[in-house]
Each structure stands twice: as C-alpha cells, then as structure tokens.
Structure 1
Amino acid sequence: MSQISPQQIKLSFPDGNVRDYEAGITPAEVAKSIAPSLAKAAISAQVNGAHWDLQWPIKADANISINTMKDDGPALELIRHDLAHIMARAVQALWPDTKVTIGPVRDYGWFYDFDRAEPFTPDDLGAIEAEMKKIINAREPVRTEVWSRADAIAHYEKTGEPYKVELVNRIPEDQDLRMYWHGDWQDLCRGPHLQHTGQVPADAFKLTHVAGAYWLGDSSRPMLQRIYGVAFKSRDDLKAHMHMLEEAAKRDHRKLGREMDLFHMQEEAPGQIFWHPNGWTIYATLQDYMRRKQRVGGYVEVNTPQVVNRNLWEASGHWENYRENMFIVEVDEEGAKEKTINALKPMNCPCHVQIFNHGLKSYRDLPLRMAEFGSCARYEPSGALHGIMR
C-alpha cells in the first residue's frame, strides 16, 4: 500500500525567494532552515500580513518574513504582551487567591485586571516587579496549545477562574481557543508571544499605578483592580519615557488650571467646565485661530440646536444604536396626549445634514464643508473623562 506524500506549500520571502515546505511547518522551523543564527534571533513572523507566533503551523501557501528584536513594532508588542502574562503570574505567586481576567497591550505598555479582596498598594507594585524579574531571569519556555472549549471550561472551573470561563464562552465557535504557558503558569490568550521569558528585557519595564475598572466595562459587574505597566526594548528608552511623564505631570492641564485660575469643575455639573476669565480668553483666542484656518480651508461656520426631537435621532439611527449614551429630555405639553421626547445632541453631523437638506443643492455647490463650535452632550461614565478632556 503506497504512502500519501505530505502536502507541499510554497512560502514567499521579502527578498523574492520562494521555498517549498511541508504543510504544517512552523515559522521557527522555517527560520532554522534558513540559518541557525536567524532561528536563535527569531521572535515571531509575519504571515500574509498577520502577526504569527513561531509555534503556529502554516498550512497553505503564504508570504512570510521572520521578526527579530530589531523589528520595533512586533518586538514591543510581544515584550508588552509577555509582561502582562508575567505580571499576572507574579501576582498569583504572591497572592494565590487572586482571580485573573484580561491583560491587553496598550500605548507604551499594558494593563491587567485582577479580582482581589485587598487593594494593591505602592509597596505591592514593588514586590510584583521583583517577582516578575525572577520569572524573566529564569528564562522559562513559552508554549502554546489549542484546546477544545469543553476542556478549557473544565480547567478553569477546576482552578476557580470564573472570569476565564466567561471569556471562553464569549469566543466565537469558529476561532481557535489557545492556551499559553509561561513556565508552569497558564493563561487563555490569542497570542502571539515570545519563545521564553528571558527574551523580555528585565530592566526596561515599570509598573506605574493601580486603578479601578468594572469587569468588561459594565458598571453592573464586579469592580476589579487594574495594574498598569510600561515597557520598552532598553533601559534608556524606559528612562526617557519616565522623564517625559514627569515633565508632562508638571504641565498637566488640571494643575495649570488651578495655578493660573483658568477653570474649575464641580459636582453640580459633572463633565462640564466653569471657565474663568483667564481660561476663556485662551479658549476664545484658540477659537479665533481655528476660524481663520477653517476659512482658508473653505469651511463655512454654522450653529445648530442643542435639543432636538427624537424623530431626527430615529432617522439618523442614533435612537436605536446610541440611545443609552444620550441625555433624554421629556416635556409635558398642555393638552397633548403624549409627552414630547427630545434629546441633547451627542453629535453635530445629523443637524448639519438638515442644513444641507434645506433648499436645493447643485453639484456646483460641492464640496460643502461645514464646521461648528458646538457642544455635544453624552451620557458616559465619569472615568471616560480626564479633566476637561475625553
């Protein structure tokens, strides 16, 4: 009985070279077939434009390039992603009863949300950093497997991780369910990751602060503790970033607002600004500057109502898709069978469409550029605001 030959695939490289491999080969094996030095330096791959773990199999013809630490984008993503896992492992090593949730990469670093009875303190962050460096220096391997949904749920129910059970149930049926190990610590994650913990620079990260965060951003769900961190490829890059943060703190608009008597905010008007004379002078000056720039750009200035009937918001789609983020204004009119329902505008564009619709327009009128110094009101959590910024 003849054996079936393995399926062959073609991999195309950035230099135009094309090589034949067996289907299911991993980027790590591809790198090794090119040069032992590349296999040692490899951290991940780009496969048809997607960021690919070195352990994931390639099953069809593809374009491929191998990433190393010299590739800033992939390198920083992996360093920060691995540090999220390493931090979660360190937290559970120090406080085994802590429940873990999610830890995505963000600008300059990452965060991870934890369910822990006691609040984290600044001293705790130092202890976590020290534990993380132990894990990094151990240079433990990172590995991944694809699990069935049933096995993953059974595992997390056994280990007492209810948030992970919920996340497993949220993953679409047609997506692989990947488990990653950093040493003997395991987490649900789509990847990719580095190949061992020692690839993370041990002196180029810093845990910065702790904040509260509702589970999945839902105020009806448990309040968790979110630890933030920043990370870079080198200690010098980290020092430069921390210096930038120190300088930015000196120029924080909330601090300057108090010192220069520009504005204030108070509980009776959440998310709204009481502009003082000095602040309003700056505001008006900036507005005048923008007006000049808009005129040069061919814009016309308009102004539209703050409160508009729900009929307009239904026509624009906001009522169906955005109603929970709108301030509703109900009015009882004498003799009317029903209340009149209006809403503060959360966006300017539907009102601008009404100006465009008013009267006939010719193609000669286009493009028509409208600008408005309008106020938009949105019903959002207070945590969405940072001083006067959203």
Structure 2
Amino acid sequence: MSEMLKISLPDGSVREMPAGSTPADVAAAIGPGLAKAALAARIDGELVDLTRPFSGDCALALVTSRDEGDALDLARHDFAHVLAEAVQALFPGTQITFGPSTDDGFYYDFAPRDRPFTEEDLPAIEAEMRRIIQADKPLRREVWSREQLISRWKQQGESFKAEWAAELPGDEDLSVYWSGDDWLDMCRGPHLPSTGKLDPAAFKLTRVSGAYWRGDQKNAMLSRIYGTGWLNKKQLDAHLVRLEEAAKRDHRKLGQEMDLFHLQAEAHGSVFWHPQGYVIYRELEDYIRRAVQSAGCKEVKTPQVMDARQWEQSGHWGKYRANMFVIPDEVPNTEDEGPVISGDAEWMALKPMNCPAHVLIFRQGIKSYRDLPLRIVENGCCHRNEPHGAL
C-alpha cells in the first residue's frame, strides 16, 4: 500500500493524500468550485505553484482571488512574463533580462535588436498579450542545472540571461517556467496554473523608459516597459481614475502653473524655487523648526564639504562613495590645454547626510553624562550622486 500524506487544512481538518499529490489534487478532492478558483498554495507558509508535489506531511492553505495580496503578486508576476513573451513574438531578436512585479503592476527590461521601444509600440504589445492570455497556455515549472541554463541562453542569443545565469549557485537546482511548449524564462516562481487565469481586461501598459542593465550606467542601455495589472477590470478602472486624479495634482504641474518652482536638466533632482514658492518653503521650514524646538532639539549648521578622511572614518567612503559627489582639493587648470585636474590632489566630498558632522559637534560639547541627552537637528542641504532618472 502506498504511503499516505497527512495534509492539514486551515479549518483544522486533515486530508490523507497519496505520495506525489499536489495542492491542485487537494482542491479537486474538496470540490470542483475550489479546483477552478485555486490560483496557488501555501505549504507550511511558503507560497508555491498549485502543481508543486508535496514532499511530506504539511499544512496547506489554498490561495484564491479572495487572498488579494498573494493573488495580485501572482497576477502581476505573470503579466510581466506574458509581456516578455509578447515582445519577443512581435520583435524577434529582442533579448529579455529582468521582469519583476511592483506595488501596482509590473515591468520588464528588454534589449531590442533594432531600436528602443516607444509608446507607439504599446497597443500592439497589449493586443499580443491578450492573445497569449486567451490561449490559456499552461505555465509549467522545470528544474535545470546552471550549465543547462547557460547553454540554453547562449543558444538563443540571450547574452544578458547567460551572464545572469553564470552567477547563480552551481550546486543548487534552478527553476524555469514554460509558457505552453514554445517559450520559457528562468524564474523562482511561483506562477498561476496558466495564462488563462489572468483577466485580459485587467492590465494596461503605461509607459516606456530607458534603464541600465543591472542599474549600472556603465552597462548597456535597455528599454523598460511598465504596466499596471490587477485581478479584474473593475480594479484596473479604479486605479486608472486614481492616476488621473493624481496627475491633476502632480507637484511638477502645479509648480509650473502656480509659478512656485521649476525643474530642469541643468540641475537634476534639484529645485529652482521662485519667490512665491519660497514663501511656502520658508513657512514649512518655520513650522518644522517650531516643532523640533518644542521637542527639545537644538538647531545647528554644518559644512557642505568635508575632507574625505572624515568620510573614511564614518564608513561612508568605503560603502557609499559611489553615491557621493567627490571634489579634488586643488585649483583647477585654467589653460586650454592639459587636464582640468591633476589627479594628485586630496579628496573632499559634498555631504550626502548630516550625521557624521553632528558627531563632530557631539565630540566638542559633551563633558559628562549629565549633558545628555543632546538632541540636535539641521535643516541641511544634502547631495547624493544618484543615476539620472532615479527620482
């Protein structure tokens, strides 16, 4: 007689299932309605595919659309994969890279063969995504070795995927997911049982932008396609209304219309405050100043630029230097010929945060534990060297 597994359900009941059974089998045993509604499962708390076999006795909770948090994550993850499949169907030669879910949707980064994608491409891509969803293609998990993955991606001309796969652990089983029998991506999962579990009317592609491979501006520029995805059209429509209302109140739009401030490329991430806007800025600053003073804080002002040795001591130089504006401590060359800086100067840096300078004040003023607590605050101006577009 084959071994029977004990599967504990949320209502306290226990079902005995033969070895090799899956959460889908349990759902079918309970009833056809649950079998149709089930999207995934939690086995001992871990979210897994509905077709993942049990490895032993366990606690099982079946996930349906009523479990909105899990259901949305699954749907958005699957929308990202369907987006990638659709793009490769419409634009042969396009390489795929990453495609995660987000708080309200999903995106996928592509390396197009011929040209970057534009918003004019989105309607055709949406139509192809709906075709894939309506085809109800089964999403099937397989476990591969790292060598299999690298070989597959190299054969397909997927250099980005091959690079990524080469960095995965060589001693672990790695999962890929097939969409039907003609398209796959490597992914930890889980996924819905099939593309047909997605509502073809519950997503919309929203915009296109550039993105560097692995977020490093030294790497290749990719085309990122964003979308928003939901469980049904009603949720999508409500979200689009919220976006429309938010656009009316966009601070960049209001800043221009009310002559408060503006932004421009000559100072990425910084604000040009106009007279009327600066009145509001000062009122907010005064409010904050009153609030922190009433809490016992004392206001200070510290230098914008400090020697790199101070940032080395604080640990920022070693761990955060890539996001700091560094400055050579020398007079630049003003001649037409030769380098602007020598490269031999000591380094300084614009402060990315206030706390290291505040530590120096702390060291100057504390003589005894009786001086504590010392609460200091600064309406400071910090600069961080982040990639363009990060804001």
Separation (CA, whole Å) in 1 of partners of 2:352 and 2:60 = 45
Q: Are 1:209 and 1:227, in contact at CA under 8 Å, matched by a contact in 2?
A: yes
Amino acid at match of 2:209: A
Cα distance change on mapping 1:85 and 1:270 into 2, 3 Å: closer
The corresponding residue for 2:208 is: 210
Separation (CA, whole Å) in 1 of partners of 2:44 and 2:292 = 42
1:331 positional shift: 1.9
* 1:370 aligns with one of 353, 366, 376: 376
Cα distance change on mapping 1:102 and 1:27 into 2, 3 Å: same
Amino acid at match of 1:207: L
Cα distance change on mapping 1:310 and 1:146 into 2, 3 Å: same
Greater Cα shift, 163-172 or 34-43 = 34-43
The corresponding residue for 1:349 is: 355
Amino acid at match of 2:199: P
Cα distance change on mapping 1:129 and 1:332 into 2, 3 Å: closer
Aligned-pair identity (%): 52
After superposition, what is the alpha-carbon deviation per residue over 1:26-83, rounded to whole angstroms, capped at 9, x for unaligned?
3223333444432322111223333222223343554431110111111111111111
SS of 2:267 mapped into structure 1: coil
The corresponding residue for 2:164 is: 167
Cα distance change on mapping 1:158 and 1:347 into 2, 3 Å: same
How many residue pairs are counted as aligned between the two chains? 376
For structure 2, list consecutive stretches of 5 or more residues without a partner in the other structure.
332-343
Greater Cα shift, 290-299 or 193-202 = 290-299
Q: What TM-score do the two structures reach when normalised by structure 1?
A: 0.88
Q: What TM-score do the two structures reach when normalised by structure 2?
A: 0.88
Separation (CA, whole Å) in 2 of partners of 1:54 and 1:125 = 32
Cα distance change on mapping 1:18 and 1:365 into 2, 3 Å: farther
After superposition, what is the alpha-carbon deviation per residue over 1:224-260, rounded to whole angstroms, capped at 9, x for unaligned?
1111100111212211211222222222222222221
Separation (CA, whole Å) in 2 of partners of 1:31 and 1:57 = 13
Amino acid at match of 1:352: H
SS of 1:105 mapped into structure 2: coil
Q: Are 1:25 and 1:59, in contact at CA under 8 Å, matched by a contact in 2?
A: no
Over aligned residue pairs, what C-alpha RMSD do you find?
2.4
| 1:141 and 2:138 are equivalent in the alignment | yes
The corresponding residue for 2:177 is: 180
After superposition, what is the alpha-carbon deviation per residue over 1:282-306, rounded to whole angstroms, capped at 9, x for unaligned?
1111122223333444444333221
SS of 1:271 mapped into structure 2: coil
The corresponding residue for 2:334 is: none
Separation (CA, whole Å) in 1 of partners of 2:268 and 2:356 = 25
1:193 positional shift: 0.5
1:200 positional shift: 0.3
| 1:309 and 2:315 are equivalent in the alignment | no
Separation (CA, whole Å) in 1 of partners of 2:211 and 2:307 = 35
1:99 positional shift: 1.2
The corresponding residue for 1:388 is: none
Q: Are 2:99 and 2:109, in contact at CA under 8 Å, matched by a contact in 1?
A: yes
1:380 positional shift: 1.5
Amino acid at match of 2:79: L
Separation (CA, whole Å) in 1 of partners of 2:158 and 2:6 = 42
After superposition, what is the alpha-carbon deviation per residue over 1:176-195, rounded to whole angstroms, capped at 9, x for unaligned?
31110122321111111100
Cα distance change on mapping 1:173 and 1:319 into 2, 3 Å: same
- Deviation above 6 Å: which 4+ runs of structure 1? none
